[in-house]
Amino acid sequence: MERALGHVLSFTVDLLLLTTLKTTAVDAHFQALKAAGRVTKVFIDWHSYSQLILAPWSYSSAAELPAESENQLAAAAAMAAAMNSTNSVAGGYIHGPSARLLYEASGASNDYGFASTPAATYTYVVELRDTGEYGFVLPADQILPSGEESYDGVIALLDYVINNDYD
């Protein structure tokens, strides 16, 4: 039992270290961009599954939404519409503030992307196909359509940003 527990603890510590190293590297990248005078306008963290486009805030459903929320949600709506029209995916993609649409979660990447180092106005966690039938094990025949939907969604999102909030 002690040996098994040691392996579990070792795995957990290794996983936490990897997560910390990855988070530190991502933040360092955005710090370097800022130092070079670059502006991050869009930040997307891709996940599976649930067919959701989640905007800030994740940490609290009661928190006042950001002043930029109207634009964030309009851009997310454009993204969802494009993703839904690409392949008429069952159930469709829906969008909204993360904690109000899904659940509260501290340390979420969409909150980080908006309120921390990247400071991107348009920041989302996008949950790809499907809504639970296959979960994390998406059948091979749905991978390409999921990519097509994602591509069309990003194009629609960028079109919104360029046409409505480009400075």
Catalytic residues: 127
Which residues lie below 8 Å from residue 27, measured CB to CB, with a gap of 6+? 116, 117
Q: DSSP for 101-150?
A: HT---TT-HHHHHHHSTT--SEEEEEEES-SSSSTTS--GGGHHHHHHHH
CB neighbour class for 57 (10 Å; exposed up to 12, middle 13-18, buried from 19): buried
| Contact by Cβ (8 Å): 122, 42 | yes
Q: How far apart are CA 153 and CA 149, in angstroms?
A: 6
